[in-house]
């Protein structure tokens, strides 16, 4: 081979070597990038965001000389997650769009599914849950078609969380179970734990606290071992809720206090802090540590109003009202209660009208009052006969013994009868008082030929039918009692038109729970008679009814004229209806009731608590 031929061969070989170097990725740089990205992923899981940023910055030096198609996508996705954790959602969304563009360019199905998941995650972060649902379903479709089972399980978990935020528990449970079955197939403890975390939500919603507790205890060490701080903090929060529902308040505090060191390491740290301290407030309230409960309430009120949904804010105000009531700061308590009521729908007019029109249009006059009066006269007469017989005790020892025995027997019989008659008389006092007031309203409407008169007749017939025909038993359905209250309020609102605001908060439908009849109506009537009727404008009445354990609680409050402007009426305030209710409660619920009256300045509050049988 000549020198010239050798030089030509060497030149061609050198050019080919350089070209090959340019065309192939630098395997060493690829390994470096892979290492940095793996480290960034671990640090992100642990919540060390500064370390994530450092690792990604180091990876960016080499990523352009590595296998671009494989590693550039992973780099951008991790960088997007870092921005999302730091709250830079708009920049993170732009990176999600770049990921989508790359996946279209490379036609890589796995990257396409990941890009859809990235879009969904950013849309969920800014509250666009419908769009997030559409994109995560696209990701699931690709994963199902091409057999990306691990990604599919993760997407099911993500979709279940969206349905939790949308308050759709059935779909939450459905997709949580699908993810759980896939995780079991993959034998992936992390995915199993995440799915069980979601399943425990459904168990708590259905009061399966023992099952939820077992699952949460099972997954806690998994998240702790894998240093998954987001899931670990959520697990502690759920444990706090479960122990709270089981009334194990000290154990609830133990778990809730484990979350504080994790605030800085979890995604949406402010949100988890808000919910944690809200749970601490609620727990300290149950323990009677009102200063601590007040501290957490005052600290988080403004943030709760900004970040929580309407239902959670309502509960926040209600808890705050209860805290300040226990602290003796009644004005602040009433102010918070007012905020709670403003977020609650007014009386459900549709339900009320349906109840009125389902009853028969009959107007019956009461004949029970005469019978009750006759019974009272008979009791007086028999008592007189007993006194007369007692005068003859001196006639003889035998007569004394007989009379004493007779007296004891008669006393035992008539003690119960006397109590029953007294109870009937007390209940009967309600009828003429209510009827007289309503007929006055009807009379005024008929004189003016008002259009509301027929509605008053309908409402009155509904209530009278209930009083005359359904209240003759010892107990009635609590649900019916509340319907009658709604009907009565409807009548009064016709009378007062725009000069009245009535808020009723009934937390459940009460099922088959029963109470003694006509205990609530006089309280409501009292609020109208001594509150609304005496105010010129801006009258309001707030009512709340709920079951707490085995106790039925009814609380009613109304505004009234200032004490200094109404001194004479204040002395007689509630002088007819409330003593009646107290006597009936003493007979019907001896040592099984509480009846509290709070009369301060321009507000009057009555709270009635009844121990009910299961």
Stretch 427-446: mean pLDDT, rounded?
A: 64
3-state SS, one letter per residue, for 533-579: HHCCCCEEEEEEEEEECCEEEEEEEEECCCHHHCHHHHHCCCCCHHH
Tell me: pLDDT of 27 over 90: no
| Residue 269 CB contacts under 8 Å (≥ 6 apart), including other chains | 263
DSSP H or E segment with residue 452: none
Cα separation of 304 and 231, whole Å? Answer: 22
pLDDT of residue 593: 93
Highest mean pLDDT among 60-74, 209-223, 578-592: 209-223
Name which of 234-243, 344-353, 578-587 the model is least confident about: 344-353
If you write DSSP's letter for every residue of 58-77 in order, what string do you get? HHHHHGGGS-HHHHHHHHHH
Tokens representing residue 103 in the block: 């996946």
Residue 375 burial (CB count, 10 A)? 15
37-46, 211-220, 414-423, 435-444: range with lowest mean pLDDT:
414-423
User: Any idea which fold 352-611 has?
Assistant: Heat Shock Protein 90 (3.30.565)
- Return the percentage of the chain with pLDDT > 70, whole number: 73
Whether the per-residue pLDDT at 391 is higher than 90: the answer is no
- Which of the four pLDDT bands, split at 50, 70 and 90, describes residue 382? low
Q: Check residue 34 and give its pLDDT.
A: 79
Higher pLDDT, 72 or 279: 279
pLDDT at 142 over 90: yes
Quote the mean pLDDT of the chain: 78
Please check the confidence at residue 375 and state whether its pLDDT lies above 70: no
Answer yes or no: is pLDDT of 574 > 50. no
Cα 118 to Cα 96, 121, 165, 229, 402, distances in angstroms:
6, 5, 18, 20, 96
Higher pLDDT, 359 or 64: 64
| 278-302 tens-digit pLDDT | 999 999 999 999 999 999 999 998 8
Q: Which pLDDT band holds residue 86 (cuts at 50, 70, 90)?
A: confident
In contact, 445 and 452? CB cutoff 8 Å: yes
Among 303-307, 366-370, 510-514, name the one with the lowest average pLDDT.
366-370
Closest CA to 577 of 553, 551, 597, 552: 597
φ, ψ at 536 (rounded to 5°): -80, -45
Q: In a 10 Å sphere around its CB, with 0-12 CB exposed, 13-18 middle and 19+ buried, how is residue 590 labelled?
A: exposed
Long-range contacts (CB closer than 8 Å, 24 or more residues apart) made by 68-72? 68/25, 69/106, 69/108, 71/30, 71/33, 71/34, 71/37, 72/102
Residues of the chain with CATH 1.25.40.10: 268-343
More confident residue, 77 or 408: 77
Which residue ranges does the chain devote to CATH 3.30.565.10? 352-611
How many whole angstroms separate alpha carbon 180 and alpha carbon 200? 12
Confidence band of 359 (pLDDT split at 50, 70, 90):
very low
480-532 residue pLDDT tens: 888 888 888 888 887 776 678 889 888 787 888 899 888 888 898 888 888 88
Looking at residue 396, its pLDDT comes to: 58
- pLDDT for 531 equals 82
Instruction: Please determine, for residue 15, whether its predicted confidence score (pLDDT) is greater than 50.
Output: no
Name the residue with higher pLDDT: 558 or 334.
Answer: 558
Structural contact between residues 532 and 525, judged by C-beta atoms closer than 8 angstroms = no
Question: 98-102, 266-270, 495-499: which has the highest mean pLDDT?
Answer: 98-102
| pLDDT at residue 16 tops 50 | no
- 610 strand-pairing partners: 552, 593
Least confident of 430-444, 552-566, 599-613: 430-444
- pLDDT of 42 reads 83
Residue 571 pLDDT more than 50? no
Confidence band, pLDDT 50/70/90 cuts, at residue 136: very high
Q: Please determine, for residue 402, whether its predicted confidence score (pLDDT) is greater than 80.
A: no
Tell me which residue has tokens 């009731």. Answer: 593
- Which of 329-338, 531-540, 580-589 comes out lowest in average pLDDT? 531-540
What pLDDT is recorded for position 306?
A: 83
* Lowest mean pLDDT across 210-224, 338-352, 519-533: 338-352
Dist CA 14 CA 193 (whole Å):
57
Range 600-609 average pLDDT: 90
Q: Which one, of 284, 333, 252, 262, lies nearest residue 542 by Cα?
A: 333
Query: Could you name the CATH architecture of 268-343?
Result: Alpha Horseshoe (1.25)
Residue 370 has pLDDT above 70, yes or no: no
Kindly state the average pLDDT of the residues 68-82.
Answer: 80
pLDDT of residue 96: 92
What's the token pair of residue 368?
């029970």
d(CA 164, CA 179) in angstroms, rounded, equals 15
- Beta pairing partners, 557: 542, 605
The pLDDT of residue 312 is 82
Q: Which of 72, 81, 119, 82 is nearest to 100 (CA)?
A: 119
């Amino acid at each position: 081979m000549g020198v010239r031929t050798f030089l030509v061969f060497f030149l061609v070989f050198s050019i080919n070597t350089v070209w090959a170097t340019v065309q192939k990725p630098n395997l060493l740089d690829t390994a470096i990038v892979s290492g940095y990205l793996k480290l960034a992923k671990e640090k992100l899981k642990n919540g060390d965001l500064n370390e994530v940023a450092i690792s990604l910055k180091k990876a960016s030096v080499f990523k352009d000389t590595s296998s671009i198609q494989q590693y550039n996508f992973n780099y951008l996705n991790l960088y997007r997650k870092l921005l999302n954790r730091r709250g830079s959602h708009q920049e993170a969304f732009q990176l999600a769009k770049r990921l989508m563009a790359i996946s279209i360019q490379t036609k890589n199905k796995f990257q396409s599914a990941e890009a859809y998941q990235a879009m969904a995650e950013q849309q969920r972060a800014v509250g666009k849950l419908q769009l997030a649902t559409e994109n995560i379903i696209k990701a699931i479709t690709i994963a199902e078609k091409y057999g990306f089972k691990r990604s599919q399980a993760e997407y099911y978990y993500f979709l279940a969380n969206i349905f939790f935020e949308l308050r759709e528990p059935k779909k939450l449970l459905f997709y949580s179970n699908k993810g759980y079955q896939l995780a079991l197939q993959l034998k992936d403890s992390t995915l199993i734990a995440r799915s069980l975390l979601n399943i425990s939500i459904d168990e708590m919603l259905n009061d399966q606290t023992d099952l939820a507790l077992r699952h949460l205890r099972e997954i806690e060490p998994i998240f702790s071992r894998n240093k998954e701080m987001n899931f670990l903090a959520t697990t502690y929060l759920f444990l706090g809720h479960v122990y709270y529902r089981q009334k194990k308040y000290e154990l609830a505090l133990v778990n809730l206090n484990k979350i504080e060191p994790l605030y800085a390491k979890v995604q949406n740290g402010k949100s988890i802090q808000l919910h944690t301290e809200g749970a601490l407030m609620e727990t300290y309230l149950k323990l009677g540590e009102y200063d601590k409960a007040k501290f957490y309430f005052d600290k988080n009120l403004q943030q709760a109003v900004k970040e929580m949904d309407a239902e959670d804010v309502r509960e926040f105000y209600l808890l705050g009202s209860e805290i300040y009531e226990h602290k003796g700061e009644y004005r602040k308590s009433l102010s918070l209660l007012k905020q709670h009521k403003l977020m609650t729908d007014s009386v459900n007019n549709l339900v009320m009208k349906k109840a009125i029109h389902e009853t028969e249009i009959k107007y019956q006059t009461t004949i029970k009052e005469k019978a009750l009066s006759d019974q009272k006269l008979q009791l007086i007469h028999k008592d007189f006969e007993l006194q007369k017989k007692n005068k003859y005790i001196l006639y003889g020892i035998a007569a004394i013994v007989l009379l004493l025995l007779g007296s004891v027997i008669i006393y035992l019989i008539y003690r119960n009868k006397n109590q029953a008659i007294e109870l009937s008389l007390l209940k009967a006092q309600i009828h003429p008082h209510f009827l007289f007031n309503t007929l006055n309203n009807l009379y005024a409407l008929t004189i003016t030929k008002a259009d509301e008169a027929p509605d008053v007749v309908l409402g009155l017939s509904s209530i009278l039918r209930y009083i005359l025909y359904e209240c003759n038993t010892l107990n009635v359905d609590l649900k019916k009692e509340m319907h009658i209250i709604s009907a009565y309020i409807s009548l009064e609102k016709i009378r007062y038109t725009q000069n009245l605001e009535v808020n009723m908060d009934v937390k459940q439908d009460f099922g088959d729970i029963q109470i003694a009849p006509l205990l609530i109506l006089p309280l409501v009537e009292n609020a109208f008679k001594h509150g609304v009727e005496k105010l010129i404008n801006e009258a309001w009445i707030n009512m709340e009814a709920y079951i707490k354990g085995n106790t039925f609680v009814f609380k009613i409050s109304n505004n009234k004229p200032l004490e200094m402007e109404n001194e004479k009426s204040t002395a007689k305030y509630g002088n007819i209806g409330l003593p009646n209710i107290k006597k009936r409660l003493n007979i019907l619920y001896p040592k099984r009731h509480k009846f509290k009256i709070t009369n301060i300045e321009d507000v009057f509050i009555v709270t009635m608590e009844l121990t009910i049988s299961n």
